[in-house]
Amino acid sequence: MIFGFLGMTYEFKWSVLWAQPHLTWLIDGLLTTLRLASISWCIAVLLGIVFGAMRTIPFRPVRIVATAYVEFFRNVPLLVWLFFWYFGAPEAFPEPVRQWFIHHGIEFWSAVAGISVYHGARFAEVIRAGIQAIPRTQLEAGLSSGLSVVATYRLIIIPIALRLIVPPATNESLNLLKNTSLAMTIGVAELTFAARQIETYTAKAVEALTSAALIYLVFCLSISSVMNWLEAKFAIPGLIVRGTRAEH
Amino acid sequence: MKRFGLTLILSLFVLSLAATASAQAQPTLEKIKNSGVFTIGVRNASPPFSFINKQNERAGFSNDLAELVHKEIEKKLGKQVKLEMKETSPATRIPLLTSMSVDLITETMTDTRPRRDSVDFSLTYFVTGADFIVKKGSPIKGTKDIAGKRIGTQQGSTNERVLREKYTQAQLVTFPDQAAAFMALQQGKLDAYCNDAIQLWGLKYKSATPDQWVVVGDWISYEPYGFAMRKNDSDFRAVVNNALMEAIEGGEYFKLYEKWFGTKSDVPYPMNQTFKTFLLYQVVPK
């Protein structure tokens, strides 16, 4: 009815989604997306913690290096980065190394490189904001207790910062999962690619793309509910003000 | 507040019912007449059919044939109509057509029976088959040699389908368009690139170093090219086919063929006698 209003005639055929080989494509695509997202996420969080902390250290050269990394990588669209990592970066390696990469999933690893470095820059900003939200007095107290700068960061500042940044970090994690769909432009057969594949083979665009949308939705909702649970479980009482719950 | 929301939903429902009663899939000729614009789907990098040339203009054999269709539409409607060109790709062209963004796909679309479930095709205006392009000196000479090798194709193309279904030992790597796939071939990320033979010849001659590339193998599929349009639109289809038939009968087609595939062109490809007979037999009597 609604599609009639738009001037198109369309017949729905949801069975294309679970007909073989379409179902295999969707499942393979989903597994590739999850693999890509989880590996990239781990690297991105690591890069984010390192560079985010580096931006707050009271030593200028270190801060400059970290700022350069963040500004350089987050200000270029991810799609452009993916093309760079796939078509540009491999050319810098010697021929035998390149050949090895080519025969060991260069598309996948270029996508991992692009996504993790880009999101590493974004995580760095999130973590920097978390660290800077902690009063300077904590650092001074740590230093005056005899801890070194590194130990103060490791034992006091970063654990508190990690708790503070759970909401924006969840946001960035969801962005990372969704950005894995861009990898299809460099030939990675992930979920969006699989949905487009079904669409071009069967011309049933609505069914194919709805299935991809629903799968992304389910995963994103799962991630955010896990993060909410994490936030509640590791909360330091009295540290983060909760608006609704009354304190006894 | 609740009342307002309910009223809004009810009124939208009634509106959509009313709209459905009056609107149907608008025939293309009517749409072109009302909007004054005829939009065709073209490619950026598929020489010599549809591409952007060194002077940064859109050009190509398909583009020129589409101009003839444009003139025929103007003749039929009796008014001036603007020709707009929109870039399409194998994966996006059918959705663009059915959503009315594009009226006619005039690039390098193969006419196949599954595709005829979604779109209608004009007469066949070119025939070719899928082939491979490799770097000179490559051991690949045909389909016997592609097992385990990385073969590139475009996402959503018939070539991808043929390789996936018939040559499962080949390692398939798909790209959104020809430009990306050819760049991967140049960088050695692919052992061969599979596309319609005539497009591979076009790629070879248009590349910076034509001698470095070789088109190998027998045709692994039959690829007849046709213009694609929305289904159940006989009036528009008649206009498109009339334009093509006039071009074949009147000789304009052969002039364009000579321009793009003749001995002095960038992609010399002499016309096959069987193909010429096929073309002439498609022209039904006036």
pLDDT digits (tens, 9 = 90+) for A135-172: 889 889 999 999 998 898 888 887 887 788 888 999 99
Mean pLDDT lowest among A59-73, B69-83, B107-121: B107-121
Do the Cβ atoms of A158 and A79 come closer than 8 Å?
no
Judge if B123 and B190 occupy the same domain.
no
* Residue B5, domain member (yes or no): no
Round to whole Å and give the CA distance between B79 and A143. 83
Same domain flag for B212 and B94: no
Pairing of β B213-216 and β B37-42:
unpaired
Out of A13-22, A204-213, A219-228, which region has the weakest mean confidence (pLDDT)? A13-22
- DSSP assignment of A160-229: HHHHHTHHHHHHHHHHHHHHGGGGGGGT---HHHHHHHHHHHH--HHHHHHHHHHHHHHHHHHHHHHHHH
Stretch A9-26: mean pLDDT = 78
A187: chain B residues, CB-CB within 8 Å: 173-175, 184
More confident residue, B204 or B1: B204
Q: Which residue has the higher pLDDT, A128 or B23?
A: A128
| Per-residue model confidence as pLDDT tens digits over B90-118 | 878 888 998 899 999 998 899 988 888 88
Q: Are residues B211 and B237 in the same domain?
A: no
pLDDT range class, residue A216, cuts 50, 70, 90: very high
Please calculate the CA angle A23-A27-A33 and round it to the nearest 5 degrees: 145
Residue where the block lists tokens 């598309």: A107
Q: Are residues B251 and B174 in the same domain?
A: no
| Cα–chain center distance at B174 | 18
Asked if the structure places residue B279 within a domain, the reply is no
* Same-domain pairing of B163 and B119: no
Closest-CA residue of B relative to A95 is: B188
The amino acid at residue B64 is D
Cβ neighbours of A197 in B, within 8 Å: 155-156
Closest CA to B223 of B128, B150, B85, B139: B128
pLDDT at A248: 53
State the pLDDT at residue B24. 46
Mark whether B105 and B163 lie in a shared domain: no
Assign B151 a pLDDT band (cuts: 50, 70, 90): very high
Does an H or E element contain B104, and which?
strand B104-105
pLDDT higher than 90, residue B18: no
pTM for the predicted model, two decimal places: 0.76
CA distance B257 to chain A (A): 31
Same domain, B262 and B137: no
Number of domains chain B contains: 2
Last residue of a domain, one of B216, B234, B257: B216
The answer to whether residue B139 is domain-embedded is yes
The model's confidence at residue A2, banded by pLDDT at 50, 70 and 90, is very low
Contact assignment for B187 to A90 by CB distance below 8 Å: yes
Name the residue with tokens 């999962």: A177
Please report the pLDDT score of residue B194 as a whole number.
Answer: 94
**What pLDDT shows up at residue B256?**
94
Tell me the average pLDDT across B70-80. 93
In a domain, B14, yes or no: no
pLDDT of residue B114: 82
Residue A241: pLDDT band with limits 50, 70, 90: low
Q: Is residue B20 part of a domain?
A: no
Record: contact B187-A185, CB cut-off 8 A: no
Interval A174-182 mean pLDDT: 95
pLDDT tens column, B220-232: 889 999 999 999 9
Q: Residue B165: pLDDT above 70?
A: yes
Q: Which of A102, A181, A182 is the mutation pick for testing B, counting most B CBs within 10 A?
A: A102
Which domains are assigned to chain A? 38-188 (1.10.3720.10), 191-234 (no CATH)
What percent of chain B has a predicted confidence (pLDDT) above 90? 50
- Over 90: is that where the pLDDT of B164 sits? no
What CATH number is attached to the domain comprising B207?
Answer: 3.40.190.10
Report the gap between the CA of A206 and the closest CA in chain B (Å).
10
Amino acid at B269: Y
Q: Which domain holds residue B71?
A: 26-128+223-271
More confident site: A103 or A47: A47
Please state whether the peptide bond connecting residue A94 to the residue before it is cis, i.e. omega within 30 degrees of 0. no
- Average pLDDT on A235-244 reads 66
* Interface contacts (A, B; CB < 8 Å): 71
Among A4, A87, A185, select the one facing B183 at the smallest CB separation.
A87
Q: For residues B94 and B210, state if they share a domain.
A: no
Would you tell me how many other CB atoms lie within 10 Å of the CB of residue A100?
11
Question: Does residue B278 form part of some domain?
Answer: no
Residues B207 and B254 in one domain: no
The 10s digit of each residue's pLDDT in A83-100 is 999 999 888 888 888 888
3-state secondary structure A99-137: HHHHCCCHHHHHHHHHHHHHHHHHHHHHHHHHHHCCCHH
B43 and B118 share a domain? yes
Chain-chain contact of A193 with B155 (C-beta, under 8 angstroms): yes
Position B276 confidence tier, pLDDT thresholds 50, 70, 90: very high
Average the pLDDT over B179-188 and give the result. Answer: 90
CB contact under 8 A, B155 and A197: yes
**Sequence-separated (6 or more) residues with CB below 8 Å from residue A225:** none
Long-range contacts of the stretch B281-285 (C-beta < 8 A, 24+): B282/B123, B282/B124, B282/B244, B282/B245, B282/B248, B283/B245, B283/B248, B283/B249, B284/B245
DSSP secondary structure letter of residue A154: I
| B16 assigned to some structural domain | no
Whether residue A52 contacts residue A127, with contact meaning beta carbons closer than 8 Å, is answered with: yes
Residue B20's pLDDT is: 43
Average per-residue pLDDT for chain B? 88
Res A238 pLDDT > 80: no
Residue B22 clears pLDDT 50, i.e. is over it: no
Taking residue B246's Cβ as centre, other Cβ atoms within 10 Å add up to 18
Helix, strand, or coil (residue B3): helix
Who contacts A186 (Cβ-Cβ below 8 Å, separation ≥6)? A82, A83, A86, A107, A110, A111, B175, B180
Is B277 within a domain?
no
Q: Do B139 and B197 reside in the same domain of the chain? A: yes
Q: Do A199 and B183 touch (CB under 8 A)?
A: no
**pLDDT above 60: residue B264:** yes
In chain B, residues with a C-beta closer than 8 Å to the C-beta of A1 are 16-17, 20
Residues B160 and B179 in one domain: yes
pLDDT at A166: 87
Q: How confident is the model at residue B21 (pLDDT cuts 50, 70, 90)?
A: very low
